[in-house]
Amino acid sequence: MPNVKVALVGVGNCASAFVQGLQFYGKHEENKNRIGLRNPTVGGLTPKDIQVVAAFDIDERKVGKDLAEAIFEKPNNAPKFVSVPSTGVSVEKGPLLDGVGESSKNMVQVSCNPDVNVTKVLKDNGARVVVNLLPSGAAEASRWYAEQALKAGCAFVNATPNFIASDAEWAKRFADAGLPLVGDDLVDQIGSTALHKTLLQLLSMSGVRINETYQLDVGGGTESLDTLDRTRDAKRAIKTQSVESALPYKAEVVAGSTDYVDFLQNKRDSYFWISGIYFGNSPMQMDLKFSTVDAPNAGSVLFDVVRAVYVALNKKEKGAVNEVCAYGFKHPPKMLPLEKAEEEFRRLVS
C-alpha cells in the first residue's frame, strides 16, 4: 500500500503527540521499538507508513510555520519527547467559526491571514484521511471540516465529542459518497473511562453488585478549559453512558470532567469511587487516583484508528465503520463490550 496520507485539523497538543510519535516510532526499524504501541502493525501498516500532508489551525503562532515547529508553539503544552525535523508541511489558516471558546479566547491568538480553500489543499496534497482534532466545543467547525472531507473525497476521523459518526444523517452522507467515517470522542490509550469500565467488569464478573460509582477528571491545558466551558454536560453524558455499558444491570453512575487546574499543564488526574456488596451482602468500597499526561494518551489510539480507516477505505467500506468506532471512540454509533469491540476491529484489519 502507498503512504497513509493524513490531514490534521487543529495543531494542538494531540497533534503534537501524533507528529512526534511518527518521528519517534517511524525512525526505528520494524519490531525494534514497540513500547507504547498497542498495535505495531495494523492491516500490514506500521507508523512509518503514516504521512501528514496537510495541517490547519487558526493561531498566528502556528499558521505559516512548518508543522515540526508549530506543534511546539503556545498555547500547546504537550511534553516534547523527540526532536522533529522539518516536515515540508506548512500549517494553513482554516476558518475560525466556533473554534475558540469564551474561556480559552485569551490563550489563542487568532491569525489575520486569509482562510485557505481547505478542499483544494486536501486535493492538491493527496490527503486520504482527515483527522479532526479541534477543541471539544467546536461543533460547527467540526461539521464544516467533515463537509470539506466529503468534497475532497477523504475519509473522516472525528476525535471530538461532537456527534458526527454517531449521527445517522452524517453516516448516510458518507455512505452515499462511498467514504468511511469514524468517531465520536477518541478514547485514551490508558484512559480513565476504559480503566473504570474494566474495574467494573472485573468486579461484576467476580459476583460483586455495584451500587454506586463515579469518575471525575481534573486537567490543565486548553482542551480541559474548553471542555469545562462548552462541553462539560455533553462529555459527562458520553462518559456516563460508556461506563454504564460495562455493567449488565442498572447502577448509579456519574462520569465526566469536573474542573480545570492551569498548573497541571498537560496532565490529567482522575478520581474513581466504587461502592458495592459481595458475599453475604458484605460492603466494599474502592477509592483511587489515576494520573496521566493527556496528549500522548491519544497517540497510540490515533495510530490504530488512522491505519484502520485507511484499510477500510481500501476495502471500499462506507459510512460509519462501527468496527473502528466501537474500538477507538467513547460514543460510537453502536456501543460494544470491550472484548467484542477488539474482536470486530481485528476482523476488519486482518
Is a pLDDT exceeding 80 seen at residue 253?
yes
* All structural domains of the chain: 4-187+296-349 (3.40.50.720), 192-293 (3.30.360.10)
Which residues, including other chains, have CB under 8 Å from residue 144's CB and lie 6 or more apart?
Answer: 95, 97
Give the span between the Cα atoms of 297 and 14, in whole angstroms: 8
Distances (CA, A) of 112 to 95, 145, 244, 257, 285: 11, 20, 45, 33, 54
More confident residue, 107 or 250: 250
Is a pLDDT exceeding 60 seen at residue 94?
yes
51-79 per-position pLDDT tens digit: 999 999 999 999 999 999 999 999 999 99
Give the span between the Cα atoms of 121 and 91, in whole angstroms: 11
Give the span between the Cα atoms of 191 and 235, in whole angstroms: 14
Cα of 193 vs its chain's centroid, Å:
13
Terminal-to-terminal C-alpha distance of the chain = 15
More confident residue, 285 or 136: 285
8 A C-beta contact, residue 195 and residue 234: no
20-24, 41-45, 105-109, 290-294: least confident range = 105-109
Q: What is the mean pLDDT of residues 322-347?
A: 94
- Is the entire prediction scored with pTM above 0.75? yes
